[in-house]
Amino acid sequence: MKSKVTAVLTAAMIVGSSVYAAASAEATITNLKDAIKGETTASAKYAAYAKKASDEGYGKIALLFQATSKAEAIHANNHRAVLTQLGESMESFTPEYDVKSTKENLEDALTGESYEIATMYPEFLKAAQKGNANLALVSFNYAYQTEKAHAALYKDALAQLAAGKEDSMASKYLVCLTCGNTYAGSAPERCGICMTPKERFVTIQ
């Protein structure tokens, strides 16, 4: 009798957890679409910020934005590939953003990355884990880890700009084509996020 109750309870728990996993899988589809929109918009915005920095005579900051623009495009492509793998497709949209002064653009970029690091990607990663969405986990983690590197680069650029030392910033960036990881100046033998050999990095200079 006791074992029958246990069996019924176990069955209920299994059904409950698979319903839960299905809900998480649905959440991951929605999250992938949000992330594609976010990364595509960030890529277009940073390209515009690069042009603005160049117009204002901040060549080194322009390079940084070119590199981060490339990285966000890699994230968007990775997320799209996962969405396709899950049998879904992305509805079309138009990226919307404002271009202000380079200082304000750096602050905006730092705010955006900080939100993705503190809130967005941790939530997306949790849902992907619950739904056993392994490819989404990989793609979200690549972006999550890269945005931490971007936030540090933007913080440093703001400090250099405030100190009038923009010229002392890196004159080249290396972007990992697998995960978007972004290095200022030089890169290690293998990417610190995904282990891709540095021969397969793209150089922005």
Q: Which residues bind Zn ion (CB under 5 A)?
A: 176, 178-179, 181, 191, 193-194, 196
Angle at CA 112, nearest 5°, toward 111 and 114? 65
**Smallest distance, Zn ion to C-beta of residue 77, A:** 13
Query: Which residue's CB is nearer to Zn ion, number 61 or number 179?
Result: 179
> In the chain, what's the furthest Cα-to-Cα distance?
80
d(CA 43, CA 55): 19
**Smallest distance, Zn ion to C-beta of residue 8, A:** 48
Crossing angle of helices 134-162 and 102-115, rounded to 10°: 150
Query: Which residue's CB is nearer to Zn ion, number 117 or number 193?
Result: 193
**Smallest distance, Zn ion to C-beta of residue 37, A:** 23
**Smallest distance, Zn ion to C-beta of residue 125, A:** 17
Closest among 16, 14, 35 to 128, alpha carbons compared: 35
Closest among 49, 68, 64, 47 to 205, alpha carbons compared: 64
CA 48 vs CA 54, 66, 96: distances in Å: 10, 9, 11
**Smallest distance, Zn ion to C-beta of residue 174, A:** 10
Closest among 46, 56, 27 to 180, alpha carbons compared: 46
**Smallest distance, Zn ion to C-beta of residue 146, A:** 8
HSE on the CB side for 133, CA within 13 Å?
30
Query: Which residue's CB is nearer to Zn ion, number 58 or number 183?
Result: 183
Query: Which residue's CB is nearer to Zn ion, number 27 or number 153?
Result: 153
Query: Which residue's CB is nearer to Zn ion, number 136 or number 179?
Result: 179
Query: Which residue's CB is nearer to Zn ion, number 141 or number 178?
Result: 178
Closest among 148, 166, 146 to 158, alpha carbons compared: 166
